[in-house]
């Protein structure tokens, strides 16, 4: 059932002047019986997206550098209030396209969605409350409540959790503080910052990670020499 209005005649009768008033059918009431998407905890996200998270933050940092270069070509007097946000968003999405390739999708209303490992990630600027800066619509309300309403024209992936990858703009005009946030019941349930990824993800050299327990890698030839000298 779609949200909308019902017209009610207040002067029904033989001499009716057809005066109508509109009764708003609130979308939130219509959606009460809709199913929810799969709930995902912070621990599950760190595990399920362990290969995705470093690329998200890498794309953001690369996008910042790209943005600083491109925006410098616009004189301050020629920039309107939406220019910087638009250029920055384009720069980061360009890096998403490079780093995520086929996982980058275009959803309804031209939303850019990274669909990876059974999760759907949206890129948005955040306000002071760490909430996405959106105009409230039926779809955004569904997203904030993890309702099974598709982000795409096709009805697929409706059980996959929606996670935001957002950032803020500080008082110096810098794009900063990237983080992953999960919203349900109109509240931020958890967030993941870049520092948490750097601590939880071991540094990769070749195919074998360096961890504090194992220490630096030893080349095969060096290993043989050590055995002989010992």
User: Domain limits of the chain?
Assistant: 1-33, 36-200
Full pLDDT tens readout for the chain, 230 residues: 344 333 333 344 434 344 333 333 344 433 445 799 999 999 999 999 999 999 999 999 999 999 999 999 999 998 888 899 999 999 999 999 999 998 999 998 889 999 999 999 999 999 988 899 988 888 899 999 999 999 988 878 899 999 999 999 999 989 999 999 999 999 999 999 999 986 555 433 333 333 333 333 333 444 444 445 54
By C-alpha distance, which of 211, 190, 191, 188 is closest to 200? 211
User: What are the structure tokens assigned to 54, written together?
Assistant: 């470093």
CA angle 108, 191, 198 (to 5 degrees): 110
CB 99 within 8 A of CB 165: no
Q: Where are the alpha helices (DSSP H) in 2-113?
A: 27-30, 42-48, 53-71, 83-100
User: For helices 83-100 and 53-71, what crossing angle results, to 10°?
Assistant: 140
pTM strictly above 0.75: no
């Amino acid at each position: 059932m779609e949200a909308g209005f019902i017209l009610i005649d207040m002067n029904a009768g033989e001499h009716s002047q057809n005066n109508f008033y509109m009764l708003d059918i609130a979308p939130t009431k219509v959606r009460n019986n809709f199913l929810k998407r799969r709930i995902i905890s912070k621990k599950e996200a760190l595990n399920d997206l362990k290969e995705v998270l470093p690329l998200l933050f890498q794309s953001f940092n690369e996008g910042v550098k790209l943005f600083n270069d491109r925006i410098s070509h616009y004189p301050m007097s020629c920039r309107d209030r939406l220019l910087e946000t638009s250029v920055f968003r384009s720069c980061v999405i360009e890096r998403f396209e490079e780093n995520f390739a086929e996982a980058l999708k275009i959803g309804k209303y031209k939303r850019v969605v990274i669909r990876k490992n059974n999760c759907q990630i949206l890129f948005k600027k955040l306000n002071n409350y760490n909430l996405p800066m959106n105009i409230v619509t039926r779809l955004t309300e569904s997203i904030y409540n993890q309702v099974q309403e598709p982000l795409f024209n096709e009805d697929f992936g409706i059980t996959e959790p929606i996670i935001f990858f957002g950032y803020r703009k500080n008082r110096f005009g810098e794009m900063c503080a990237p983080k992953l946030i999960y919203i349900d019941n109109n509240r931020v349930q958890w967030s993941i910052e870049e520092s948490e990824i750097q601590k939880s993800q071991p540094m990769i050299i070749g195919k074998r990670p360096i961890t504090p327990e194992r220490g630096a890698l030893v080349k095969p030839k060096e290993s043989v020499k050590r055995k002989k000298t010992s």
